[in-house]
Every structure is written in C-alpha cells, then in structure tokens.
Amino acid sequence: MSLVDRTRLAAVARKEVLQLRRDPRSLILAFLLPVLLLVFFGYAISWDVTDIRMVVLDQDHGERARALLDAFRASGRFTIVGDLARSAEIGPVLDRGRARLALVIPPRFDADLGGGRVAPVQAIVDGSDANTATITIGFAQAIVQQFSAQALFATRRVRLPVTPETRIWYNEELASRNMIVPGLVAVIMMIIAGLLTSLTIAREWERGTMEQLASTPVTRLEVVLGKLLPYLGIGLVDVAACSLLGVIVFRVPFRGDVLFLMAASFAFLVGTLGLGLVISALARNQLLATQIGMIATFLPGFLLSGFMFPIDTLPFALRLITYLVPARYFLVVTRGIFLKGVGPVVLWSQGLLMVLYALAGLAFAVRNFRKVLG
C-alpha cells in the first residue's frame, strides 16, 4: 500500500497554490524579495579595500623618497590626500578620519638607502577597524618590501636570487563579490524558504480552515508534502534566478554543473522548508511564526554558516552548533560550483549531509503536524 495517495497530495498542493495566488504578500516574499536581497547585499557587503587614504610626512624630500611615494600611488590601493609638515599633525588627521595611514619618511632616507644602510620608514595606521587596518598593513609592507628589494639590488647591481611567481586559482581578481554572491544564494534561500513555509499551517489556524483539513482523509505526510511541493518549486526558481543574476549583474564566474546545483538546491530546500513547517505547526499565528522563522534562519544563516565569519575562528561551542545549520553545507556547495567547478566527487559529503537534513526536516514536520491534528 502506498504511503502517499497522489490524488489527495495533488489536492493539498493545489489548495496551497490557490492560497498563494490570493495572498500578494506571500508572492512578493516568494519571488521579489530574494532578488532584492541579493542585489542589496551584493552591493552593500564588500571586503575589498581598494581606496586607502593616506597622508605623508616626508622629512627627506629626496629622489628615493619620491620614488617610494610613487610606488604607493602606482599600487592602485592608496590615495595620498595630504602632506604633513610636523609629526604633531598625524594624531588629529587620524582622529578625524581624513586618512587611515600616515607614512613617515625620516631625514637622510635617500642617503642611507643609497649607501646601503638601513633606512627605516614608519607607518602609523588607524586600528579602529581591525580588518581594514590588517589589510592596510599588509599592502604597505608588500609595497615597501618590493621597493626595498629593488633599491638594494639596483645599488649593488646584482640580480634577485629568487623571484616568486604567484598563481591565484578560482578567484583570480581576489574580488570579494566572487565569494559573497554564491554565499548569498545559500543564506538568502535559507531565510526565504524558512519564512515561506513558516506561515502555511499558522495561516490555516487563523483562517479557521484547520478543522476542515483535519476532517478529511488526507494523512499527515500528504499534508506536509502537499504544502511543501509548491514552495519547493518556488525555491528552485529563486535559486536559478539568483544564480543568473549573480552571473549577469555581478560578473561572478559559473564553472560548475547546473544540474548538480539544482540537485543540491533540492535537498537543501526540502530541509529548510521542513524547518519552516515545524515552526508553523508549533506557532498558531502568522506573526509569531514569522518572528520565530526570522530568528531560526536569518541569524544562523548569516553568522553560523561561514558566510560572515570563518567557522574555524568561532568558539568551540558555536562550531558545534554550525553543524545544525544547513546553509553551512549549501554555502560550500555553491562556492565550489560557481568558483571551482567541482561536482559530486568533491562535494559528496556536503550533499549527503543536506540529504540527511532534508529527511530530518520532513520527519520533524510530520511529527509536529500530528500534534495539531490530534
């Protein structure tokens, strides 16, 4: 005997589609919000540091000092916004945020460097933003080291014994958007999927149709699957739309298999939609369901998936919790498909965990829905 009657399943799914068509807010949430969130966060979130304002206190005014400043300008990372006359001016400039870096070139810099002696250069960095300060120091050190090596070997007229050749794979431009946009697809779909189904059963209670549904011969599994299928189709459309938008608008490379992305999205969405159904079964009004859904999807999706912060840097207790966040696995899958072009051979473990999460989500949804009908 089949566990699911196709006729009853189709009837529940059709009923849910009709309710969606009569609710413009749900349609906006389903189709328009994912695109808006991707565009908004895609432009708003950036870890690139490309225009670092700096001031210079040049106490030497020699040829090599000017060459060093030209090296900073040529890097494309720094913009010299002012020249200082005294060291006392550095503090007020950094305090007011006019610059993030103050470069101090001491007297006799040109003479010491030309004579093969140590010529120290001081970089004073605004550390109020630790991430930007770390990147700024790294760029400044790289420019100074390269300039120093060129000056040293030009003076002694010898060649560099070792010349490094760097090869960057998967994100050749080192552009943060290439890792942000695929991650946003995972995070946004977790939020949207959880919110969509968190309203379904609560809506039945508020509209007084739950008693009618309970009196029908439809089983708990058929109700859960019937309510899940329309949103699963919407979720797959949203994933495809967000992925296409990322490629066209943000110029993110897509090197993987579209079919594998859809298959992984299927497993991920089933689990997340099941989570929403559990929330909807426990909360009998849409306002409470929405609030719980936001807490259960938005915060874990952004903070515990590896999107905003590397999981390895989190405290041990939070690292354990991340294993319960499905966006953690889907984020690895989307970045792997978009940037690396890898498939099931590499991503099989994440795919398996998402399948297990999907089965668990369905099981919990059916179990909690039984309490409502009982």
DSSP state letters, 273-292: HHHHHHHHHH--SHHHHHHH
Residue 149: predicted pLDDT = 77
Rounded Cα distance, 235 and 185, in Å: 11
User: What's the N-to-C CA distance of the chain in angstroms?
Assistant: 24
- Parts of the chain belonging to CATH 3.40.1710.10: 52-156
User: What pLDDT is stored for residue 154 in this prediction?
Assistant: 63
Q: Burial level of 304, CB count in 10 A (0-12/13-18/19+)? A: buried
Concatenate the DSSP letters of all residues of 311-338 into one string: GGGS-HHHHHHHTT-HHHHHHHHHHIII
- Alpha helices of the chain — where are they, by DSSP H? 6-21, 24-27, 33-44, 63-74, 90-95, 109-114, 130-156, 177-198, 200-207, 210-215, 220-248, 258-282, 286-303, 316-322, 326-335, 344-373
Residues 71, 72, 76, 77, CA torsion sign: positive
pLDDT value at position 369? 73
Low-confidence ranges of the chain (pLDDT < 70): 1-2, 152-164, 208-215, 370-374
The burial of 17, by beta-carbon neighbours within 10 Å (0-12 exposed, 13-18 middle, 19 or more buried), is given as middle
Residue 75: per-residue pLDDT: 86
- In CATH, which superfamily holds the domain spanning 52-156? abc type-2 transporter like domain (3.40.1710.10)
What letter would DSSP give residue 31?
I
Q: What is the dihedral of CA 269, 272, 277, 280, to 10 degrees?
A: -130
What is the rounded distance in angstroms from the CA atom of residue 105 to the CA atom of residue 111?
A: 12
Question: What length does the chain have?
Answer: 374
Please give the Cα distance from 211 to 280 (Å, whole number): 16
Q: Which residue has the tokens 């720094």?
A: 78
